[in-house]
Amino acid sequence: MISNSINQLKNEMIAWRHHIHAHPETAFEEVNTTQFIVEKLQSFGITELYTHFAPTGVVGIIKGQQEGRWIALRADIDALDIIEENNIDYCSTVRGKMHACGHDGHTAMLLGTAKYLSEHRNFVGTVVVIFQPAEENEGGARVMVENGLFEQFPIEAVYGIHNQPNMKLNHFYINHGPMMASYDVFEIKITGVGAHAAAPHLGKDTILTATQIVNSLQSIVSRNADPLSSLVVSITQIHSGDTWNVLPQKAVIRGTVRTFSAQVQDMAEQRIKQIATGIATAFDAKADVDYQRRYPATINYAKQADIAIAAANKVVGQENLVIDPLPSMGSEDFAFMLQKIPGVYVWLGAGKGANLHNPAFNFNDEVLATGVSYFVEIVNQELAIQELAN
């Protein structure tokens, strides 16, 4: 059930969402978005605000009726470098940037929640609302964590939502464990000896070496990973050569690794290095491997997953819950928060529409009130006034 007072916030949230959608800003450049959020929070009477955890983004403190435990609700606020292809009256006004992941909706949803909580304050303890920048590519969550977000405040659990188009409208998808995969990137630089294409015996062919490496890297998933574990090794770039009659001296291969387990991640890194350097040696060339771990896997905590299930159950009912769905091999920087403190990241089905990161994507406003109700129920579950009696 969605209460009348939350439904009444809907039109206002839609207006905020459309404003943010029309003015997209990408990683750590969300200056106007942050300013917009600050102004709204202040207008709700939330005056304890912090902006020092990241170059952009804001953290707001909402106190309940009495001191008590602390929990946090998180929204990401950044847009993507995509040219929008929607024909809507609040289309992106910044060519080449758009809210194609629905973070405009996540922001509006958390603003609506903040307004509701500030008006009602019918809980014991403190709710921290985290408007996090730079979810895409730059790991804004990591920056906020490194800058002491969870040291400055005694937050016991953090809750996040992501909208998911083409999942059932207003259904919650909640996992007790792995939800999103880790995200690593690697670059293999191959150095050989350049030569005339007509005299290959005078060179060390980097293109032949590179293609052998690409082929052999595919054996990591099929031959090294346990068939019951999840692992992706994708080669996404291969660059070499400039003309027809030269064997190039250098080649570069780039790609990404996704998994849920630290053990599998270690294995993949080690095998990529071993295969690349071993094959390069066999072809009398040299390979240098740069392997970077970008985002860890997003692994939910079972206890908070149960709290999320109880909260979602109150909002949409048991029949609209999908418990322990298959996780996604995509990634999410909320993982950095879950490395520090317990919490849960859920998907909120948004019904049929263009997929995330597609130029025709548009957040479905029909999930805004559902998201607010869920967050409010999380607060009811975690910081219930009844606890006073105990």
**Of 34-42, 100-108, 175-183, 192-200: span binding Ni ion (CB under 5 A):** 100-108
Q: Report the residue number, 104 or 205, with the smaller CB distance to Ni ion.
A: 104
Q: How many Å apart are CA 282 and CA 17, to the nearest integer? A: 57
Separation of alpha carbons 346 and 197, rounded Å = 55
- Provide, rounded to whole angstroms, the least separation between the CB of residue 314 and Ni ion: 25
User: Measuring CA to CA, which residue among 233, 213, 236, 212 is closest to residue 221?
Assistant: 233
CA-CA distance, 30 to 57, in Å (whole number)? Answer: 7
Q: Smallest distance from the beta carbon of 294 to Ni ion, in angstroms?
A: 15
Q: Which residue has the tokens 């064997």?
A: 247
Binding mask 47-86 for Ni ion (x = CB under 5 A): ----------------------------------------
Q: Which is nearer to Ni ion, 92 or 240 (CB)?
A: 92
Angle, alpha carbons 363-346-295 (nearest 5°): 90
- Least distance (Å) between residue 308 CB and Ni ion: 18
CB-wise, 101 or 312, nearer to Ni ion? 101
Closest CB to Ni ion among 135 and 382? 135
Q: Where does this chain touch Ni ion (CB under 5 A) — which range of 101-109, 167-175, 202-210, 376-384?
A: 101-109
H-type helices in 93-194, by residue range? Answer: 103-120, 140-146, 149-152
Using the minimum distance from each CB to Ni ion, give the nearer residue, 209 or 300.
Answer: 300
Nearer CB in complex with Ni ion: 29/387: 29
Please tell me the distance from the alpha carbon of residue 74 to that of residue 379, in angstroms, as a whole number: 13
Cβ closer to Ni ion: 92 or 126? 92
By CB under 5 A, how many residues form the interface with Ni ion?
A: 1
Interface with Ni ion in residues 147-186 (CB under 5 A): none
In angstroms, give the least distance from the CB of 162 to Ni ion: 6
Q: Please state the closest distance from residue 359 (CB atom) to Ni ion, in A.
A: 15
Smallest distance from Ni ion to CB 101, Å:
3
CB closer to Ni ion, 109 vs 213: 109
* Residue of 133, 144, 175, 163 whose CA lies nearest to 357: 163
- Residues ≥6 apart with Cβ < 8 Å to 184: 256, 257, 258, 265, 268, 269, 291, 292, 293, 294
DSSP states of 224-279: IS-TTS-EEEEEEEEEE-SSSSEE-SEEEEEEEEEES-HHHHHHHHHHHHHHHHHH
Do 25 and 32 touch, CB atoms closer than 8 A?
A: yes
Report in angstroms how near the CB of residue 274 gets to Ni ion at its nearest: 34
* CB 279, min distance to Ni ion, A: 37
Q: Per residue in 337-362, is it b (16+ CB within 10 Å) or e — as a string?
A: bbebbbbbbbbbbbbebeebeeeebb
CA separation for the pair 142, 144 (Å, rounded): 5
Stretch that binds Ni ion, among 10-18, 66-74, 96-104, 304-312 (CB under 5 A): 96-104
Interface residue with Ni ion, options 6, 71, 77, 101 (CB under 5 A): 101
Range in contact with Ni ion (rule: CB under 5 A) among 59-67, 99-107, 150-158, 365-373 = 99-107
Residues that bind Ni ion (CB under 5 A): 101
